[in-house]
Amino acid sequence: MNETILYAATEGVVTLTLNRPQARNALNLALAEAISAACRRAVAEAARLVVIRASGPVFCAGADLKERQGMTDDQVRARRVKGFAAYNAIETLPMPAIAVVEGPAVGSGCEIAGACDFILATPAASFRTPEALWGTVGATQRLPRVLGKRLAKDMMFTGRTLGAGGEAGAGGGDDHGGDIRLGIGGAQRRDDGADQGIVQC
């Protein structure tokens, strides 16, 4: 498996760790391809639960803008398609997927977390889609389904930051008071008793 992502499997639980801490886990072409490959491997190994987390203090700082420097328009589009494929690979997993967010999730980071079935967020987690501030278009499809139209539009139009507990009770993630082990442990116990039913839904 590409070193940009770490793959670990224990008793049916696969943990995928975004592993570009020196670049704040920014999504580049290699990481996008590695996410898709890791998801295919989890399916092939009949995993019952997939956990996605990150090395370092930042979950994902968004698209890797340094990599984009010097790319042609066609190369930029091709990289974007690879990113979309990575999000889709997570979203279409036949088993539950949990994002463990322990720091900022920006742009593509929101897409990765939003593609999961659940988000476990510590108080240090935050979510932001800053593309509007740059005059570009960011996440417009998945975010409204995850957060609801009003909050998603607020984030997309203003670029404001959503905390782990959300604003006015909206909720950016499923808060477990910083104890991520509690959240994953509970999810694993639920998965132990109902994995077939969940997969068949």
DSSP element (H, E) containing 195? helix 180-200
**Local structure of residue 176 (DSSP, 8 states):** -
Instruction: Please write the tens of the pLDDT for every residue from 86-100.
Output: 999 999 999 999 999
pLDDT above 90 covers what percent of the chain? 61
Report the 10 Å Cβ neighbour count for 11: 9
**What's the pLDDT score for residue 182?**
43
Q: What is the mean pLDDT of residues 153-168?
A: 79
- Among 28, 29, 34, smallest CA distance to 16 is for 34
CATH number of 5-200: 3.90.226.10
Domain positions in the chain are 5-200
Cα separation, 160 vs 179, whole angstroms: 26
Reply yes or no on whether the pLDDT at 164 is more than 60. Answer: yes
Instruction: Please write the tens of the pLDDT for every residue from 100-158.
Output: 999 999 999 999 999 999 999 999 999 999 887 777 777 678 888 888 899 988 988 88
